[in-house]
Amino acid sequence: MRITLVTETYFPQVNGVSRTLGQLVRHMTEAGDTVQLIHPDYGEAPKNSHDLLVWSKAIPFYKEVVMPIPPFGHVHQAIKDFSPDLVHIATEATMGLSALRYVRKRQIPVVSSFHTNFDQYTRSYKVGFLNSSVWRYLRWFHNRTLETYVPSLATIAELEARGFERLVLWQRGVHADVFRPDRPGRESLRAQYGFKPEDVVIGHISRLAPEKNVGLLGEALKQVASQRPNVKILFVGDGPSRASLERSLGKVAVFAGYRSGDDLADHYSACDLFAFSSLTETFGNVVLEAMASGLPVVAVRAGGVGDTVQAGRTGLLVEPTDHASKLAEALIALVDDSNLRQAMAKNAREYALGQSWDTIMAGLRNRYRSVLGLER
């Protein structure tokens, strides 16, 4: 198959969407398909001659977000020259919209995927008045594709209630041989950051931004640290909320910035449990990576995270309406009970071992073939 993938985020950007799409490209290529990538230009050379890097600019107040700049005539030409069997549009902003209109006009089969809870994003940035308009647009956009791939049953239920059609579950996977508890760098990293053997390290690996609900997380962690002096906190990631978290938590927290590959996996394994407060996750890749790393998860029951974390077995969940004190209580419960923490760590690891990227991507590839009327 010849597949064009249009996305407004990709490597080297660090987020769940770019990681997922990277795994998709890898699997399709290994299966013998040809994939054309169209994504923002991050200053690195394209991997293949048929790929297109689109001139883009970072949002001034949020340098982690890079947006492609119209017009997109060259995007249309690249798709025409490549002559794909199928176009997969992964994001719904300006470039995705332009590509959708072009391929529908030329009657090229097109599918889409839904990755982001925009409802929570608009609330986080205090533009909630745009919610109804955003949802109307998203419904219009996705209902004009042959199928929309969604990462969790919870998100499918929400989208169906909003009038979205032809939704297909496309979960996320993890490389459990990379993300694992017995990483070789665990002890050296703990020593590097000044963590003592008796310290309980709470990890948080994500973009540090309002849409990740880090205000609630920061308050909860502050309460935990004030009540349990053996607790240390490790943040991996960056973003506009980092400075406020550093001021609030002081020396009890280490901020490691963005990490990748084996270094990222070592940082997971240097922790003893994982805290996650986001309300915007349609899945939450970092939660599954934490579980593969043998970390029980304390999170908010929202979106795909509520599907992934089995409350009482692989972690603890609090409700979206709960205050920071409830999240702090759940964290303290695992800080204080090492036996419970270890039992949940074992269960979390066992669950993650069954979530292979290759199995999940093979399922999506079969959906592509089904859309095109090909035998599997």
Q: What is the pLDDT of residues 215-242, one digit of tens each?
A: 999 999 999 999 999 999 999 999 999 9
Residue 174 reports pLDDT greater than 70: yes
Dist CA 165 CA 138 (whole Å):
11
Helix or strand holding residue 15 (H, E): none
Residue 46 reports pLDDT greater than 60: yes
Give SS3 for 26: helix
Residue 244 reports pLDDT greater than 70: yes
Provide mean pLDDT across the span 68-89.
Answer: 98
What is the token pair recorded at 29? Answer: 């290529």
Least confident stretch, 58-72, 168-182, 243-257, 311-325: 58-72
Dist CA 76 CA 232 (whole Å):
51
Closest CA to 50 of 39, 59, 66, 61: 39
Provide mean pLDDT across the span 328-351.
Answer: 98
- Residue that the structure tokens 């079969």 belong to: 366
Give the contacts of 181 (CB within 8 A, at least 6 positions apart): 269, 293, 294, 345, 349
pLDDT, averaged across the chain? 94
Sheet holding 231-236, edge to edge: 253-255, 231-236, 200-205, 273-276, 297-300, 315-318
Residue 77 reports pLDDT greater than 90: yes
167, 281, 353 from 286: Cα distances, Å: 24, 10, 15
Provide mean pLDDT across the span 368-373.
Answer: 97
Provide mean pLDDT across the span 23-28.
Answer: 97
The per-residue pLDDT for 125 is 47
Provide mean pLDDT across the span 287-291.
Answer: 97
- Residue that the structure tokens 């590839």 belong to: 365
- In this prediction the pTM is 0.85
Interval 110-168: pLDDT, tens:
999 999 865 554 454 455 556 889 999 999 999 999 999 999 999 999 999 999 999 99
The pLDDT-based confidence of 188 (bands split at 50, 70, 90) is very high
Residue 95 reports pLDDT greater than 80: yes
Domains, the chain: 2-173+356-371 (3.40.50.2000), 186-353 (3.40.50.2000)
Least confident stretch, 46-60, 88-102, 191-205, 262-276: 46-60
The per-residue pLDDT for 129 is 53
The per-residue pLDDT for 171 is 94
Dist CA 286 CA 268 (whole Å):
10
Sheet holding 86-89, edge to edge: 52-54, 34-40, 2-6, 86-89, 110-113, 148-150, 167-169
Under DSSP, the state recorded for 237 is B
The per-residue pLDDT for 66 is 86
Least confident stretch, 35-39, 63-67, 82-86, 247-251: 63-67
What is the token pair recorded at 135? Answer: 């949802």
The per-residue pLDDT for 122 is 46
Dist CA 39 CA 67 (whole Å):
10
Provide mean pLDDT across the span 6-29.
Answer: 94
- Residue that the structure tokens 């795909």 belong to: 304
The per-residue pLDDT for 58 is 85
